[in-house]
Chain A
Amino acid sequence: MKPLTPYVHRNSPIHRLNPLTKGAFFLCVVIVAFTAPFLWVVLSLLGAVVIVAAAAKVTRNLIALVLKSAFLIVVLIFIVQGLFYPGSKAALWTIGPVTVWREGLRFASFTASRLLAIIAATVLFMLTTRAEDLVSEMMAHGLSRKLGYVVLMSMQIMPQMQARAAAILDAQRSRGLETEGGLMKRFRAYVPIIGPLVVGSIISLETRSLAIEARGFSSSTRRVRVEEIHDSRGEQMARWAAAAAMASFVVWRLVSWISSLIR
C-alpha cells in the first residue's frame, strides 16, 4: 500500500523551511494564479514552482503527480473551450463540422495555465511538507485542537480514499473483478465498488479518528514535538511580507475590477 501522503523526504533547504512559511507562499501562488490578468505572470509562477521543486529535489515527483492529476482536465478544457468558446470569431482550423477557434484556444491556455500553477503549487507544498508538521505548527500558533484535528483529518481524506481503494481493488481482483485493461473495462469494474468505497472510507476515517483520539490528541496538554520545527526571525518576517503583499495585491485587483465595472 502506498503511504497516505505524497510527502517525499529529501535533505533540502525547502524541506527544512517552516511549514507555515511554505504554506504562506503556497497561498500567494494560489491567489496570484487565480487573479493575475496576464498569462506571462501565471507562466512565471509556474516556472518559479518548478525552480523551487528543483531546489527541493522533487522535480520528477512534481511533474509525475501534476500530470497524473491535471492531464484529463487540461485536455477537457482545451476541447471544450477550443470548440465551444462563446462569441468566437477567428477560426483556426475547420475539419468537417468541427471548428477550432483562436479565442477559445487562447482562453483555454490561460485557464489551463492557472490551473496548472495552482495544482503544481499544491503538489509542491504537499511533497515537501508533512501534514503532521503543518498542523503542529498551526496549533503552536494558536489553532485550537479541534480545528487542528479537522485540518489533519481533511488532509488525509484523499490519500485515505486512495489507500482504501487500492486495498479494496486488490481484494476484488482476487475475486475475479477485472480491473486491468482498457478504459471501458476499468470503468465498469469501478462502478460496483464506488458506493462501498465511499462508505468504507468514511468508516476507516472514523477508525483513524478513534486511533488519534485514543493517543490523547485532544487532551488538554500542550503538544511537544519530538523533532523541533525550525522557525527563524527571517522566516517570520518573510511570512508577514507575503501577507502584506497579498493583501495589497488583492486590494489592487478588487479596485481595478470594480473600476472596470463602473466604467
Chain B
Amino acid sequence: MDIVIDSLTYTYPGQAAPALKDVSLEIGAGELCCLIGANGAGKSTLCCAIAGFVPHFYKGEMYGSVVVGGVDTVQRSIGDLARRVGIVFQNPFDQITGATLTVFAEVAFGLENLGTPRDETRRRIEDVLRKVGLWELRDRSPLELSGGQQQRLAIASVLAMDPPIIVLDEATSQLDPAGTRDIWRIIARLHAAGKTLLVAEHKMEYVARHASKVVLLQGGKVIACGSPREVLGRDDLARCGVRRPPFMEIMRGLTQRGLWQGPMPLTLEDAAAVLKEVARR
C-alpha cells in the first residue's frame, strides 16, 4: 500500500504557526522511508497525519490531503484506518490501552478488535512477544514494566496486528543498544517482506544502513527527499539539527582530502573496509 500526501498544511488548535507547511510526499508501496529532522520539525505530526490522528483526534486546521492505499484519511475513522496503518507512538506510555491487565492481553487487544481467530491470535502474540523479548513477562501488568519494556510492548502490539503500513515514531528511543539493533533487524525484515514503513528516527547509523528513502524535515517543511546517500551527504545537515553518523564524517574528511573517491559507505562494516584500504595505501 502506498501513501500519497498532497500539499498538506496543518495547524494544531490554538497555535499561530502551522506544524506542517505544504508537505507533498509520495511513499511507494514497499518503501522503507525514514523521517529525520530536529525536534519540533514536524516528524510526529506527519506520522499522526498518516494514521488519521491529524485531524480526527487533534482537530485543528488541515488543508491538502493524505491518501493511504487509495483511501483519503479524512473520510475514514481512526478505528477503520487501524486496519491499514499501524502506528507506534513516540511516548510508549501513551500507547498502553489501560483496558488490559497483562502484557499478553495487551497485545491481544488489537487482534481481538480485528476479529482474528483465536489460534491465530495466540500464535501471533507468542511470535511477536518472543521477537521483542517480552515473552517471559507475558503475565506481568503492562504498568509494571520499565520504560524500555513498555516501548517493546508498544511495538509488539502494533506488529501483531500485521497492518500493510507501519509507522514507527522514534520507536527505539528508550531501547538499549541491543534492543535497537533487534528492532531495526525486524524493520529490515518487514521491508524485505514488502511492508510499507515510515520511520521517524534520530539514530542516523540505522537510517544510513536500512532506509530506501530519507525525508528531511525542518520547520514543518520537506527540505530534502531522496536516497540515504543523497540526504545524509548534504552540507546543510547540521543546520537542520541532524548529526551525520561519525563514521560518515570521517569518510567525508577523507574524500575532501582526496584520499577516497568511491561512493560514501553507508554501514560501519563498509567504512571499516574502506579505512583499512586507505590506511594500507
Contact = CB atoms under 8 A, between A and B. Distances in A.
B95 A163 contact: no
Interface residues of A, number: 36
Given A3-B141, A215-B109, A217-B79, A222 B115 contact: yes
Interface stretch (A25-33, A35-43, A119-127, A204-212): A204-212
B112 A223 contact: yes
Interface stretch (A54-62, A83-91, A224-232, A247-255): A224-232
B101 A215 contact: no
A4 B117 CA distance: 28
A7 B77 CA distance: 32
B129 interface: no
B176 interface: no
B15 interface: no
B99 A219 contact: no
Interface in B72-92: 77-80, 82-83, 86-87, 89
A242 B140 CA distance: 36
Interface in A178-236: 206-208, 210-226, 228
A143 to B, nearest CB: 15
B141 A224 contact: no
A219 B76 CA distance: 10
B98 A4 contact: yes
B34 to A, nearest CB: 21
Contact of A216 (B96, B110, B122, B125): B110
A125 to B, nearest CB: 16
Nearest to A224: B115
Contacts of A152: 99
SS of A interface (majority): loop
A222 B86 CA distance: 19
A128 interface: no
Given A132-B105, A216-B161, A226-B111, A1 B117 contact: no
A7 B111 CA distance: 23
A225 B83 CA distance: 18
Contacts of B39: none
A163 B89 CA distance: 21
Interface in A127-165: 130-132, 136, 152, 156, 160, 163
A109 interface: no
Contacts of A2: 143
Interface in B152-170: 157, 161
A215 B80 contact: no
Contact of B157 (A131, A215, A225): A215
Contacts of B141: 3
Contact of B97 (A7, A9, A208, A228): A208
B44 interface: no
A225 to B, nearest CB: 6
B94 A207 contact: yes
A72 to B, nearest CB: 27
A102 to B, nearest CB: 48
Interface of A: 1-5, 7, 9, 130-132, 136, 152, 156, 160, 163, 206-208, 210-226, 228
23 contacts: A1-B143, A2-B143, A3-B144, A132-B101, A132-B105, A132-B109, A207-B94, A208-B98, A210-B53, A210-B94, A211-B89, A211-B94, A211-B95, A212-B99, A213-B77, A213-B82, A214-B53, A215-B97, A216-B79, A216-B80, A216-B110, A219-B82, A228-B118
